[in-house]
Amino acid sequence: MSEIIVSTPVIDRIGQLFEQHNLQKKTVVLFDEHTRKLFGDRLLESLGHQGFTVKELVIAARETSKSFRTAFNLYSEMIDADVDRSWNLLAVGGGVVGDLGGFVAASYYRGIPVVQLPTTLLAMTDSSIGGKVAINHPKGKNLIGFFHLPELVLIDPSWLKTLPEREIYAGMAEVVKYGFIADRQFFDYLKEHFDEIVAVRDPYVTEAIQRSAMIKQRVVEEDFRERSGLRATLNFGHTFAHGLEKLADYRHIRHGEAVTLGMICALCLSERMGTLSPEEKQEGLDLLARFRFRKGLVEKRFKSHESGEILHSMLSDKKKVNRELRFVLLNGLGEAFLHTSSIDHQLVIKAIDEAKTLC
Ligand SMILES: NC(=O)c1ccc[n+]([C@@H]2O[C@H](COP(=O)([O-])OP(=O)(O)OC[C@H]3O[C@@H](n4cnc5c(N)ncnc54)[C@H](O)[C@@H]3O)[C@@H](O)[C@H]2O)c1
Ligand SMILES: O=C(O)C(=O)C[C@@H](O)[C@H](O)[C@H](O)COP(=O)(O)O
Ligand SMILES: [Zn+2]
């Protein structure tokens, strides 16, 4: 499994950590345009002092960068720079840079090592860990990808200080997800310290990152390739979320925002399936009601779609078997499971209809 380091500062230890992991100090550093501006000079200067040879690459900061076209351009630049198998790739950014960088690393020359340096709350708590790397297809989210574990995950929570509020809430969705699916005590901690965490206040934000990373790492260790159903629980709310992201052409709605809405749908579905009590569902909804969205987003990107249209968009989900969708449901707060038989589509539509009245 990957080693995860949570430390402030972290960049001046990169050389030493690479040596410990038998990684050469020859690295492609992948940024998006924002992380290049915010952290690029500092990081590249530090890598220079630590004796690294670097090829810098920058992508547009948007979800649609998770594409074959962008990956192809990166391969071309790496070939021109004589990047060979002795190199590795350092992905500096949010989930887009991490997923795309991991995808390119997994495929370039049949695979070079990747190191993740996540800079969003979502990436620090979720996307940098566990080795799912992917690009999107117009027909569905993350449809083309690999399992390619990072050699190292380097998290410096102080890098969140520049993160816009919208992105903090997007990341908080995945943090809250861990409480729902795996840890009732963590759920209570998040209820108590929600405001401090979204204000990026320590020790709360660092504790939330550490606990989230531990839960994700444990799940991935037990079911790396999502075969037993355990890893699929990390997909709580995601069948709905990916449907909404696709309907928005992977623009206009952040992944974490779609996950928040998806989790409201999943709470409603869990209650309708009889696995979650009305009281626990309400407790879950109360926590999700604390999330803020841009004005008009919920109306435009969720409520304006017919529920049947959302269900149709969800049909490209990778958990489906023989064209039947499978959903992650809650067995009470703090425990999730993959419901392996099909669920009547009318029931799913009713759950989406209900969710629309609740947000
Ligand atoms: N592989 C996985 O297990 C996994 C898990 C969850 C999500 N994901 C994927 O992650 C992606 C979403 O990631 P995300 O929410 O990090 O979005 P993102 O990568 O688009 O980053 C959000 C925005 O924040 C900016 N940014 C990054 N760090 C910053 C900082 N410290 N200060 C200021 N701005 C900063 C970025 O430039 C970008 O504009 C989606 O594609 C989703 O599918 C993957
Ligand atoms: O790591 C996992 O497994 C997850 O499901 C984490 C999710 O938060 C993440 O959005 C992931 O990319 C979704 O995976 P997918 O297989 O549904 O594309
Ligand atoms: Zn997710």
Ligand 1 pocket residue status of 259, Cβ below 6 Å: no
Question: What local confidence, expressed as pLDDT, does residue 2 receive?
Answer: 94
Task: Read off the pLDDT band of 180 (50, 70, 90).
Answer: very high
Q: Is 300 a catalytic residue?
A: no
Closest CA to 159 of 107, 192, 119, 200: 119
Question: What local confidence, expressed as pLDDT, does residue 202 receive?
Answer: 97
Question: What local confidence, expressed as pLDDT, does residue 349 receive?
Answer: 98
Question: What local confidence, expressed as pLDDT, does residue 23 receive?
Answer: 98
Q: Is 216 a catalytic residue?
A: yes
Q: Beta partners for 330?
A: 336
Question: What local confidence, expressed as pLDDT, does residue 130 receive?
Answer: 98
Query: From ligand 2's centre to the CA of 94, what distance in Å?
Result: 14
pLDDT tens digits for range 38-47: 999 999 999 9
User: Long-range contacts for 145-148 (Cβ within 8 Å, ≥24 apart)?
Assistant: 145/99, 145/103, 145/106, 146/102, 146/103, 146/106, 146/107, 147/224, 147/225, 148/102, 148/103, 148/105, 148/106, 148/111, 148/114
Question: Would you state the structure tokens that stand for residue 50, as one six-digit string?
Answer: 């630590």
pLDDT tens digits for range 277-326: 999 999 999 999 999 999 999 999 999 999 999 999 999 999 999 999 99
User: Over pLDDT 90: what percentage of the chain?
Assistant: 100
Of the residues 231, 281, 326, 339, only one is catalytic, namely 231
DSSP state of 185: H
Output the average pLDDT for the chain: 98
Q: Is 132 a catalytic residue?
A: yes
Q: Beta partners for 53?
A: 26
Query: From ligand 1's centre to the CA of 254, what distance in Å?
Result: 9
Ligand 2 proximal residues by C-beta, below 6 Å: 126, 130, 132, 141-142, 174, 231, 234-235, 238, 318
Average pLDDT over residues 10-31: 97
d(CA 92, CA 123): 10
Half-sphere exposure of 79 (CA within 13 A, CB side): 9
Average pLDDT over residues 203-222: 98
d(CA 354, CA 179): 23
Ligand 1 pocket residue status of 212, Cβ below 6 Å: no
- Kind of pairing, strands 336-339 and 327-330? antiparallel
d(CA 93, CA 118): 5
Question: What local confidence, expressed as pLDDT, does residue 118 receive?
Answer: 98
Question: What local confidence, expressed as pLDDT, does residue 131 receive?
Answer: 98
Calculate Rg over the CA atoms of the chain.
20
Beta carbons of 88 and 274 less than 8 angstroms apart: no
Starting from the CA of residue 262, give the closest ligand: 3
pLDDT tens digits for range 264-287: 999 999 999 999 999 999 999 999
Beta carbons of 127 and 170 less than 8 angstroms apart: no
Pocket test for ligand 2, best of 139, 153, 238, 318 (most atoms within 8 A of CB): 238
Starting from the CA of residue 95, give the closest ligand: 1
pLDDT tens digits for range 117-126: 999 999 999 9
Closest CA to 299 of 257, 330, 342: 257
Average pLDDT over residues 67-93: 98
Question: Would you state the structure tokens that stand for residue 133, as one six-digit string?
Answer: 């790397």
322 Cα distance to chain centroid = 26
Beta carbons of 164 and 198 less than 8 angstroms apart: no
273 Cα distance to chain centroid = 27
d(CA 359, CA 357): 6
Q: Can the peptide bond before residue 9 be classed as cis, meaning omega within 30 degrees of 0? A: yes
Closest CA to 220 of 4, 71, 26, 35: 4
CA angle 269, 349, 282 (to 5 degrees): 35
Question: What local confidence, expressed as pLDDT, does residue 50 receive?
Answer: 98
Question: What local confidence, expressed as pLDDT, does residue 61 receive?
Answer: 98
Closest CA to 135 of 111, 84, 99: 99
ipTM of the complex: 0.99
> What single-letter amino acid sits at 329?
L
